A and B are shown apart, each in its own frame.
Chain A
């Protein structure tokens, strides 16, 4: 063996491996639903250049401190700004979806069986006819009648394919008639219902929001049979399009039956509509 000292490479000036660009902005595991593990795949030169130029490491959403090379302030600001834009839009979309979804997702796992045409999800689609007609035809308002036909056609097909709906939460259909009150024409406005229930529940809302109203309330939904506790978890709000939203939560152990309540204008104390909710077995 030689007496010469071994030549040692200096320790790299880093605390963790930096093999690829994919953890520059936010770690791969931080995505909302899919949590892919990012493998250390070889990246073509062009790709690396693009990513390095775009790096804005620490302060981007879910940022990670590592970077391949120092990132200029201009690049950092640009990418941060871009992330802010898309993330704000995402939040906007989620708020709108919450308001529109009636508390149920027809495509959630479990709601959609392997046979798509005979699934509970398909039945749920049928239950959403009225809501979709009311909310889904804003796209090109002049084409609304056709959209309504489509939505009905799809939904009724789905409904026919699976009449059994037990055990699934569902959205509530409603179509308030146009009325005139206090001399003000109050055309029927679309109203969203967010229903949280693990029971088979039907909701009917006859609701004509007054143009001047700033809020609504209800003393709860009371059972026709008086020995049952009233439903109290009912709130009112507006969605991202400033349309009324009624949110109803049905406790898991609420007895079956029919529950009724009056919607009251908080400013004038005038009744503005009714809610009828039927909980099956």
Chain B
């Protein structure tokens, strides 16, 4: 097996399956009127690009289990459309200002139009799921819809958990609380769902989909911690607002660690800063929080944490994929674990 350090496999497959998914996805974007207030907005986030990790995981898993790319393509398209729909809603709910290197949709067009575009993207995502019946049969198409329902509920529950923490200014949380929230908010859509439906499509339901849960969870949570780290230390290619999570009061592993490690006085200051709305927060507060994180080693703590979880993901990979014959897609799935923590 080639060393991962210089492997191009992950970026190559992300590009390849990403292009395949994008080409199919564009066919589902309406081109008629009303463009200015709806369909141009609907197409905005998908046209901005993105890593295409989610659809690639779906296609690669299906292929690793012996399916054709085309069998998984509709589902991959639906995954990417739903991801973009949720991004629009998340950006509004989080008060985010940048997405993929540009202003967020609601900052450009206002919240009502952005919300409507997000809803429309969700509706559009249903069409490829309907058309799945022509490719994989009605029973599997139905099963994919059931999986989609479960994923969507989990995502909504995870988002609600985090929004609730922010509204009620809950900071005194254990790392396990963070993991539970990320499992639902991030992992289901980002990793668990794509892998589960990929296997479902290829095996026609002959494998227990729960056996993919742990791999998806460890991969997804590693991805999220790295994403949170990049928000604090990433370069300009990251695509989101630097320190945006601190401005938004997002509950990250680093923030929870900072709260636990802080003195009573600093905890009180932290509580006070987090209690304020984003637009009431000042740059000095964000600079102070960032400096405190360095002082208490929160960045290194989270980085170590991510590496350990990546180790667990590697192990779970071996549990569920090891018996499959060697293939490019199987190696991609394995190398994804390293990629998620090495990306920048």
For the complex formed, measure the closest distance between the CB of B134 and the CB atoms of chain A, giving whole angstroms: 9
A112 to B141, CA, bound (A): 12
Q: B175 and A155: CB pair below 8 A?
A: no
A36 to B305, CA, bound (A): 28
A94 to B1, CA, bound (A): 37
User: Which A residue sits closest to B151, measured CB to CB?
Assistant: A139
**B247 interfacial by beta-carbon distance below 8 Å:** no
For the complex formed, measure the closest distance between the CB of A93 and the CB atoms of chain B, giving whole angstroms: 7
For the complex formed, measure the closest distance between the CB of A142 and the CB atoms of chain B, giving whole angstroms: 7
By a CB distance below 8 angstroms, the chain B residues around A86 are 183, 213-214, 217-218
Count of A interface residues, CB-CB < 8 Å: 81
By a CB distance below 8 angstroms, the chain A residues around B3 are 44-46
By a CB distance below 8 angstroms, the chain A residues around B143 are 106-107
Interface of A is mostly: helix
Interface pick from A6-14, A146-154, A194-202, A264-272 = A146-154
Q: A54 and B213: CB pair below 8 A?
A: no
Q: A93 and B150: CB pair below 8 A?
A: yes
**B170 interfacial by beta-carbon distance below 8 Å:** no
Segment 142-173 of A: residues with Cβ below 8 Å from B: 142-143, 146-147, 150-151, 153-155, 157-158, 161
Given known A33-B207, A86-B183, contact A28–B138 (CB-CB < 8 A): no
Which of A28, A108, A117, A139 sits near B148, CB closer than 8 Å?
A: A139
Interface pick from A73-81, A184-192, A209-217, A248-256 = A73-81
A146 to B309, CA, bound (A): 39
User: Which B residue sits closest to A159, measured CB to CB?
Assistant: B138
Given known A32-B208, A36-B319, A47-B314, contact A79–B308 (CB-CB < 8 A): yes
A46 to B10, CA, bound (A): 15
For the complex formed, measure the closest distance between the CB of A147 and the CB atoms of chain B, giving whole angstroms: 7
Which of B145, B156, B183, B315 sits near A51, CB closer than 8 Å?
A: B315
**A4 interfacial by beta-carbon distance below 8 Å:** no
Segment 43-69 of A: residues with Cβ below 8 Å from B: 43-47, 49-55
User: Which A residue sits closest to B204, measured CB to CB?
Assistant: A112
User: Which A residue sits closest to B341, measured CB to CB?
Assistant: A50
For the complex formed, measure the closest distance between the CB of A215 and the CB atoms of chain B, giving whole angstroms: 27
By a CB distance below 8 angstroms, the chain B residues around A36 are 318-324
Segment 307-344 of B: residues with Cβ below 8 Å from A: 307-312, 314-316, 318-324, 337-338, 341
Interface pick from A122-130, A219-227, A230-238 = A122-130
Q: A106 and B139: CB pair below 8 A?
A: yes
Which of A22, A38, A89 sits near B213, CB closer than 8 Å?
A: A89
A140 to B89, CA, bound (A): 12
Given known A33-B208, A82-B179, A153-B130, contact A44–B4 (CB-CB < 8 A): yes
User: Which A residue sits closest to B3, measured CB to CB?
Assistant: A44
8 contacts between A and B (CB under 8 A): A33-B211, A34-B207, A35-B323, A90-B210, A121-B139, A124-B139, A150-B145, A155-B138
Contacts A33-B211, A46-B4 known; 4 new A-B pairs at CB < 8 A: A54-B314, A82-B221, A105-B205, A151-B145
Closest 9 CB pairs of A and B: A116-B137, A54-B311, A107-B205, A33-B208, A36-B323, A158-B138, A121-B139, A54-B308, A22-B318
